[in-house]
Amino acid sequence: AQKVTQAQTEISVVEKEDVTLDCVYETRDTTYYLFWYKQPPSGELVFLIRRNSFDEQNEISGRYSWNFQKSTSSFNFTITASQVVDSAVYFCALNIGSSYKLIFGSGTRLLVRP
Amino acid sequence: KAGVTQTPRYLIKTRGQQVTLSCSPISGHRSVSWYQQTPGQGLQFLFEYFSETQRNKGNFPGRFSGRQFSNSRSEMNVSTLELGDSALYLCASSGSLAAGAGETQYFGPGTRLLVL
């Protein structure tokens, strides 16, 4: 069975703090894809990153960075120097190679206070 | 390029009625997926269409159905609405070519359905 766990329901930080959102996934497939999406209050899911199971390189995009570790089945997301505009719900999702659906975690609500 | 568009954005229905939601994918995308988001169940996959064919279906009752047209636009229909169908319904598109598994799905703004 495939599953995504985001254990942190809600995180509150003060602006400029660094924050890490955890994501742990379960799958027996060797080919799979991991995603992060941001959902602001408007409701639309905004794509942030896609990673396949064969690429364990960490990625940095501006203030965002992602740490993919197959050994611990984790795909964590770090925001450096957080800003109020980062406040949103963040979802981690899994797609296995033989399916067309995304399996989402329950999401982490991030509140960045000024 | 325009993003995924969904209509209507908001809808209020009563129990027992039926509803049709529409989704226009990003130009050139041929795969359309639908998801239901509720506070209790989170984001759940409904179904996925590619070239007018349903390739994947989630665990939802038969009251939930969908279709895709030759221009890749998709509709989903919910018949005999129940209170529990109140949710945000999100459509996503992907796949400019073969639209294989693992391609990035780009989401629309969603349709908020309230069933009274």
Which residue(s) pair with B107 in the sheet?
A: B92
pLDDT at residue A98, as a whole number: 72
Which positions in chain B touch A49 (Cβ < 8 Å)? none
A102–B101: do the CB atoms touch at under 8 Å? no
Residue B96 pLDDT exceeds 60: no
Alpha helices in chain A (DSSP H): none
The CA-atom distances, in angstroms, between A63 and each of A9, A76, A77, A108 are 22, 14, 11, 18
pLDDT tens profile A7-34: 999 999 999 999 999 999 999 999 999 9
For B51-74, write each residue's pLDDT tens digit.
Answer: 899 998 999 999 999 999 999 999
- Average predicted confidence (pLDDT) for chain A: 94
Distances (CA, A) of B3 to A7, A28, A99, B29, B93: 31, 34, 24, 11, 9
Chain A residue with CA closest to B111: the answer is A43
**The pLDDT value given to residue B2:** 82
Which of A47-51, A100-104, B94-98 is the least confident region? Answer: B94-98
Residue B97: its pLDDT value, please? Answer: 55
A51 within 8 A of A25, measured Cβ to Cβ: no
Asked whether B70 and B83 are in contact (CB, 8 A), the reply is no
Place A90 in a pLDDT band, splitting at 50, 70 and 90. very high
Question: How many residues does this entry show for chain B?
Answer: 116
Residue A97 pLDDT more than 90? no
Closest by CA position to B84, among listed B114, B48, B45: B114
Structure tokens at B64: 């939930």
Q: Hey, are the CB atoms on B107 and A46 less than 8 Å from each other?
A: yes
Question: Which pLDDT band, with edges at 50, 70 and 90, does B102 fall under?
Answer: confident
Whether B100 has a pLDDT exceeding 70, the answer reads no
- Chain B hits for A99, CB-CB cut-off 8 Å, are 56, 101
Report percent pLDDT > 70 for chain A: 100
What local confidence, expressed as pLDDT, does residue B99 receive?
A: 53
Interface test mutation site (partner A, options B105, B106, B111, B112, max chain A beta carbons within 10 A): B105
pLDDT of B1 > 80? The answer is no
Report, in angstroms and rounded to the nearest whole number, the Rg of chain A calculated over CA atoms. Answer: 14
What is the pLDDT confidence band of residue B98, given thresholds at 50, 70 and 90? low
Within 10 angstroms of residue B92's Cβ, the number of other Cβ atoms is 25
Q: How does residue A58 score in pLDDT terms, banded at 50, 70 and 90?
A: confident
- Contact of B24 with B79, CB cutoff 8 Å: no
Beta strands in chain B (DSSP E): 5-7, 10-13, 19-24, 31-38, 42-50, 53-57, 64-68, 74-78, 87-94, 106-107, 111-115
User: A73 with A6: CB under 8 angstroms?
Assistant: no
Tally of CB atoms within 10 A around A12: 12
- Across chain B, mean pLDDT equals 93
